[in-house]
Amino acid sequence: MAKYATVRELKNQTTALIRDAEKGEPVVVTRRGKPVATLKAFEGKDLQKEDKYPTTAFGALRKKILEKHPQLAKETPKEARRQFDRIARKMRRSLPFKTWREMDRFIKGDRYGLAR
């Protein structure tokens, strides 16, 4: 059975709550009655490199791409960067704007940069 503690209780009784978690009793931390975090005993699998939810946009995108194209996992970062740069140069040539600032001005209707 999980134990519940508010954020204030966590702040004031951190050591006691961590001891409870070490004993195997998970502690659910709540803010205004809604669960926001969990304290649980440490397990070896907690250090596994594979994250269920990548924390960066790059990590999430890379994971989706590797699911569809597993052969790309064999590429070194240097090769992947070279491929990315090649594609970016090709895309840059096809864009109607020379800079992001120029595109931003056009989208906002300020073609000559007069508005500030």
**What CATH number is attached to the domain comprising 26?**
3.40.1620.10
Same domain, residue pair 61 and 37: no
In a domain, 49, yes or no: no
What whole-number distance in Å separates Cα of residue 29 and Cα of residue 38? 6
Does any domain span residue 51?
A: no
46 found inside a domain? no
Residues 72 and 104 reside in one and the same domain: yes
Q: What tens digit of pLDDT does each residue of 96-107 get?
A: 888 888 888 888
Most confidently predicted of 18-32, 68-82, 98-112: 18-32
75 in the same domain as 34: no
99 and 73, same structural domain? yes
Domain that holds residue 75: 57-108
Q: pTM of the entire structure?
A: 0.42
114 part of a folded domain: no
Whether residues 72 and 101 share a domain: the answer is: yes
Contacts for 34-43: CB closer than 8 Å, 24+ residues apart: 36/7
Q: Which of 8-12, 46-50, 79-83 has the lowest mean pLDDT?
A: 46-50
The reply to whether 101 falls in a domain is: yes
Token pair 């895309």 is found at: 91
Q: How many domains does the chain have?
A: 2
Using an 8 Å Cβ cutoff, are 113 and 105 in contact?
A: yes
pLDDT tens for 30-64 read 999 999 999 998 887 777 666 566 577 877 888 88
Q: At residue 15, does pLDDT exceed 90?
A: yes
